[in-house]
């Protein structure tokens, strides 16, 4: 589904992630694990088209992204980013509807199929009852669900999420991941995301990629990569410190 080949990512001349390769199939979750500044966000932003890749190829269903129209890429890939949208006087339904943008015509008006996709996505993410509330007035956990509905109503093949569970309490964290798990199975979506919570990443991911200073130091099954010895080394934590707070 999504294939990344020798991707180098960064801003202008500053290369942050070096020579990254991986592939994800439909229904799979791949999670980036790494310290702050290890290049997780930069990679996700590059795959999402927010910053141009410095070199390398991104291939979706056999098509090279660099040869595709922006609007067509948007139909296949949708991203949930860390920065919040500016939603002056927008209801949650309005916000979700913006996800259908690549499918709408000249004036961006939604057809019946679009409206159904929006309603389905809101149902699926438990945000249907928020539809008429102003987006600016709901809680962080609710916002995150609405943003997921927005990303999902596009019916993408690939979903990118940058630290989707940060700032959420344990209840919202777990229900969010449960939703994501259901979604990828039901809709066969390939998910690429970054998570800080290694214990959650281990449970939900099919593959994890360890990133350190922009270099991939390991990719594979979470059970193989996320054992204690590798984790303490990857995050530069001493055994005592790990034992005291995490063991």
Would you tell me which residues interact with another protein (CB under 8 A)? Answer: 45, 48-50, 69-75, 78-79, 81, 83-90, 94, 98-99, 101-102, 104, 106-109
Residues 6+ apart with CB under 8 A from 166: 82, 196
CB of 180 to another protein, least distance (A): 18
Cα 168 to Cα 159: distance, rounded to the nearest angstrom: 20
CB of 70 to another protein, least distance (A): 5
96: nearest Cα among 71, 81, 114: 114
Identity of the residue, 23 or 87, whose beta carbon is nearer to another protein in the bound complex: 87
CB of 93 to another protein, least distance (A): 12
CB of 1 to another protein, least distance (A): 19
CB of 12 to another protein, least distance (A): 14
Identity of the residue, 60 or 201, whose beta carbon is nearer to another protein in the bound complex: 60
Identity of the residue, 17 or 74, whose beta carbon is nearer to another protein in the bound complex: 74
Identity of the residue, 72 or 213, whose beta carbon is nearer to another protein in the bound complex: 72
Identity of the residue, 52 or 220, whose beta carbon is nearer to another protein in the bound complex: 52
């Amino acid at each position: 589904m999504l294939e990344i080949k020798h991707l180098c990512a960064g801003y202008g001349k500053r290369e942050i992630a070096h020579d990254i390769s991986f592939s994800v199939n439909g229904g799979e979750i791949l999670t980036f694990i790494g310290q702050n500044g290890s290049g997780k966000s930069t990679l996700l932003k590059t795959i999402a088209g927010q910053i141009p890749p410095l070199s390398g190829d991104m291939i979706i269903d056999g098509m090279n992204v660099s040869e595709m129209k922006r609007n067509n890429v948007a139909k296949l890939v949708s991203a949930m980013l860390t920065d919040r949208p500016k939603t002056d006087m927008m209801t949650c339904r309005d916000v979700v509807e913006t996800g259908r943008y690549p499918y709408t015509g000249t004036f961006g008006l939604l057809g019946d199929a679009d409206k159904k996709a929006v309603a389905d996505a809101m149902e699926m993410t438990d945000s249907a009852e928020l539809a008429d509330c102003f987006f600016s007035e709901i809680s962080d956990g609710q916002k995150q669900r609405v943003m997921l509905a927005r990303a999902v109503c596009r019916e993408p093949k690939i979903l990118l999420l940058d630290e989707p569970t940060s700032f959420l309490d344990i209840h919202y964290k777990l229900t969010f991941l449960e939703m994501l798990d259901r979604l990828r199975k039901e809709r066969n979506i390939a998910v690429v995301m970054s998570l800080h919570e290694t214990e959650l990443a281990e449970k939900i991911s099919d593959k994890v990629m360890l990133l350190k200073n922009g270099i991939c130091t390991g990719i594979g099954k979470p059970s193989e990569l996320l054992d204690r010895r590798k984790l303490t080394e990857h995050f530069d934590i001493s055994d005592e410190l790990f034992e005291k707070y995490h063991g």
